[in-house]
Chain A
Amino acid sequence: MYFEYEVVGGDFTNAGSTSSSVKKTLKQLNVDPVIIKRTVVALYEAEVNIVAHAYKGKIYINIEEDSISIRLVDEGPGIPDIDKAMEIGFSTASVSVREMGFGAGMGLPNMKNNSDRLIVTSEVGKGTIIEIYNKLQQ
């Protein structure tokens, strides 16, 4: 199965809608609830990061029988130092985003903890690509 979703930067009202739709699909496919939870946490964080940091982005979801591959491609400022961004507590989020309870520097660590494989590539001034891969069977 293959799905594509669009994400608009700054649109917090719809943040999480892709995660919610992927969750429904995985439930229908009778995927182990633990794996659904992991996947949804990782995807939600990545989705919110586009809303909080980028101008816009696209999410490509590919579900195979035994795995899910998620690719989030955004047009945005990019990440100058990925290792730094992976540190718990490091964030470049704006004050207004922090007031909402985001931007605590936990997004990327949450993604890492909840995916079998996480690849972050980024070009400053252009954008960021997040790839999340999870096995659907234990």
Chain B
Amino acid sequence: MKVRELVEKANLKVFSGEKGLDNEISGGYTCDLLSDVMGHAEAGSIWITLQTHKNVMAIASLKELAAIVLVKGYKPDDDTFLQSNKENIPILGTDAETFEISGIIYHLITR
């Protein structure tokens, strides 16, 4: 599934990185510990987190993740936003809690 399609189906906001909306999603990873994501997330995953600082972009870029979803209405920091546009890795958002959005996205991408 493309990021664009997930945005529509899961009713996500698109904050930045619009050029990456055609990135293909091959899986998902839910975690707020950056080293865990660094160590274990697979390339092409959509990453669900509450971390909003610029280092999430460093991780997303190094791990070649498809997109990031910020939970509970969190917004990316300004430099995170800019980096997302530079890397073409979208930052998406939802008001839902982590558990809830993880479940929704899990069902959508594994169907």
- Are B38 and A15 interface neighbours, CB within 8 A? no
Q: Which of B39, B51, B55 is close to A41, meaning CB atoms less than 8 Å apart?
A: B39
Task: Kindly identify which residue among B32, B53, B54, B62 contacts A40, using a CB–CB cutoff of 8 Å.
Answer: B62
Residue of B nearest to A13 (CB): B54
Main secondary structure of the interface of A (DSSP, over half): helix
B38 touching A41, Cβ below 8 Å = yes
Given A110-B39, A113-B39, A102-B34 contact (CB < 8 Å): yes
B residues in contact (CB < 8 Å) with A? 32-36, 38-39, 43, 49, 51, 53-55, 58-59, 61-63, 79
A-B contact pairs, 25 of them (CB 8 A): A12-B54, A12-B55, A15-B55, A16-B58, A16-B61, A20-B58, A23-B62, A37-B43, A40-B62, A41-B38, A41-B62, A44-B38, A44-B58, A44-B62, A45-B35, A100-B53, A101-B33, A101-B49, A102-B35, A104-B34, A104-B35, A106-B39, A109-B39, A110-B39, A113-B39
Tell me whether chain B's interface is mostly helix, strand or loop, or mixed. helix
Do A104 and B54 have beta carbons less than 8 Å apart?
no
Find chain A residues with CB under 8 A from B36 CB.
104, 106
| Distance from A79 Cβ to chain B, minimum over Cβ atoms (Å) | 17
C-alpha gap A74/B72 in the complex (Å): 38
Known: A15-B58, A19-B62. A106 touches B53 (CB 8 A): no
Tell me the A residues contacting B by CB distance below 8 Å.
Answer: 12-13, 15-17, 19-20, 23, 37, 40-41, 44-45, 48, 100-102, 104, 106-107, 109-110, 113-114
Inside 8 A of A17's CB, which chain B residues have their CB? 58
Q: How far is the CA of A16 from the CA of B39 in the complex (A)?
A: 14
User: Is B33 within 8 A of A16, CB to CB?
Assistant: no
- List 10 additional A-B contacts (Cβ < 8 Å) besides A16-B62, A104-B33: A15-B58, A16-B59, A20-B61, A20-B62, A44-B38, A44-B62, A48-B34, A48-B55, A100-B53, A101-B34
Contacts of A23 in B (CB 8 A): 62
A-B complex: 8 closest residue pairs judged by Cβ atoms: A16-B58, A106-B35, A101-B34, A110-B39, A104-B33, A101-B51, A101-B32, A40-B62
- Distance of A132 from chain B, by nearest CB (Å): 14
Find out whether the CB atom of A100 lies under 8 angstroms from the CB atom of B34. yes
